[in-house]
Amino acid sequence: MHDVALYILKQLSVDRFYSGSQLARELDVSRTAIWKHIQMLGVYGVDIYSLPGKGYRLAEPVELLDQKRIFKGLQGFHLISSVEVLSSIDSTNRYLWQQAHNGEPSGSVVFSEFQSAGRGRRGRQWVSPFAKNIYCSLLWRYDDTHNGIGGLSLAIGIAVVNTLEEMGISGIGLKWPNDLLFGGKKVAGILLEMSGDPCGSGCVVIGIGINVDMKGFSDSSAITQPWTDLVELKCDSDISRNELSILLLRSINQALLNYKQNGLTQLIPRWNELDVMFGKEVVIQGVSNTLKGVARGIDESGALLLLSSGEIRRIHSGEVSLRLAENSGDLCC
């Protein structure tokens, strides 16, 4: 997003109109330029009222992420080395991956208010309206972890659930390997991209997307599965994205410390408690075959345990998808 548009957004409020001529004077641009940037904000999904003779105001409050506030809230959480907040980017994961190859240190975090090409697992699009949700990626460089990296996305999933519970949002479940659901509707997702030896040294970019407030979002046709957001789950109570970001990074910091020391072993009971598929008949769809069975939780490597034809099979995430069998009913948490 252009700096002028961002400045305009920071000046506007829901309480009063701000005249186009005043904005033009402050920015030393024409009123036509102001109008064009207002239109740009509309394309990004920001709802702005315009009234001739009075100017512009926001239809509803917009809380922008505050880099200084977030980083200050992480004092004492030493795995987080830096926090960057971007107004727009194609993908926080892609951006941080490029930075990693340029020597970015471990613990670097990037947030973006908007993603033009947000990514989910298996190449899916992650829909990313401006200043509504959390789009965040963290770089972790690991060294000779004896626990491997295969179960890390599950540990991060638990960390996100813990964060939401700390925010007063209960009833969130986990769907292997990286979805957070409420009542069968997706509220958050995780995408890990790795380079190096999964059981030796390397780096991983941990991407997290959380639906905070999708109210009024017009392009819901771009979302291919049922979804919900935190505002709906909290019955329209105010949710600070800055506070959520701080709690999220604190929880991830602790999750990485624990994972490095203990892997998934101590987290298996917690995962099974949150697992929306546990004990249900499911279908595993792979690239070339399909398996049916009963989900029996996970093992210490992060593999899904599937009871099929009288034996336990271990399914690693890779390019497979997990869904309920047709006779299992709807997902519930």
Residues 140-188 have pLDDT tens digits of 998 866 778 889 999 999 999 999 999 999 999 999 999 999 999 999 9
Q: Is the pLDDT of residue 20 over 70?
A: yes
Per-residue pLDDT at 259: 94
pLDDT (0 to 100) of residue 250: 98
| Structural domains of the chain ordered from first start | 3-58 (1.10.10.10), 67-271 (3.30.930.10), 273-328 (2.30.30.100)
Which of the pair, 44 or 51, is modelled with greater confidence? 51
- Contact between 314 and 269 under an 8 Å Cβ cutoff? The reply is no
For residue 216, pLDDT over 90 is answered with no
Residue 331 has pLDDT above 50, yes or no: no
Residues marked active site are found at: 121, 186, 323
Query: 316 vs 11, 77, 301, CA distance in Å?
Result: 49, 31, 9
Q: Which two tokens stand for residue 86?
A: 């971007």
Phi, psi of 41 (to 5 degrees): -60, -35
Average pLDDT over residues 239-253: 97
pLDDT at 97 over 50: yes
DSSP string, 96-139: HHHHHHTTPPTTEEEEES-BSS-B-GGG-B----TTTSEEEEEE
Q: ∠ at Cα 308 (303, 309), nearest 5°?
A: 150
* Residues 271 and 309 sit within 8 Å (Cβ to Cβ): no
Q: What is the mean pLDDT of the segment spanning 275-298?
A: 92
- Which among 289, 279, 268 is positioned nearest to 324, based on CA atoms? 279
Task: Summarize the confidence of residues 117-144 as an average pLDDT.
Answer: 76
Compute the distance between CA of residue 112 and CA of residue 85 in angstroms, rounded to an integer. Answer: 6
Please write the tens of the pLDDT for every residue from 34-43.
Answer: 999 999 898 8
* DSSP at 169: -
pLDDT value of position 122: 46
Average pLDDT of the segment spanning 290-318: 93
The reported pLDDT for the residue numbered 332 is 39
Question: Residue 307: in which H helix or E strand, if any?
Answer: strand 304-308
DSSP 91: -
Name which residue leads in pLDDT, 127 or 18: 18
Q: Which range among 91-100, 212-221, 323-332 has the greatest average pLDDT?
A: 91-100
Report the helix count and the strand count for the chain, using DSSP H and E. Answer: 9, 14
C-alpha 139, offset from chain centre: 14
The dihedral sign for the CA sequence 307, 313, 317, 318:
negative
Tell me what pLDDT residue 286 has. Answer: 83
Q: Which two tokens stand for residue 238?
A: 């105010």
In a 3-state reduction of DSSP, which class is residue 24? helix
Residues 6+ apart with CB under 8 A from 76: none
The whole-number pLDDT of residue 148 equals 81
* Ramachandran sector of residue 330 (left: φ over 0; alpha: ψ -120 to 50; beta: rest): beta
Of 59-73, 99-113, 178-192, 194-208, the poorest mean pLDDT is in 194-208
Confidence category of residue 327, pLDDT binned at 50, 70, 90: low
Average pLDDT (276-289) is: 90
In this prediction, residue 208 carries a pLDDT of 97
| Confidence (pLDDT) at 140 | 96
**pLDDT class of 330 with cuts at 50, 70, 90:** very low
Q: How far is residue 264's CA from residue 151's CA, in Å, rounded to a whole number?
A: 6
Dmax over Cα atoms in the chain, in whole Å?
A: 75
Return the pLDDT at 224.
Answer: 63
In single-letter form, the type of residue at position 271 comes to W
| Minimum mean pLDDT range among 60-64, 222-226, 275-279 | 222-226
Residue 208: φ, ψ to 5°: -135, 130
Mean residue pLDDT across the chain: 89
HSE of 172, CA atoms in CB hemisphere, 13 A: 30
Token digits for 287? 């690239």
- Residue 270: the pLDDT is 97
Q: What is the DSSP string of 207-272?
A: EEEE----TT-S-GGG--S-B--HHHHTTT----HHHHHHHHHHHHHHHHHHHHHHTTGGGHHHHH
CB 210 within 8 A of CB 188: yes
Q: What is the pLDDT of residue 217?
A: 59
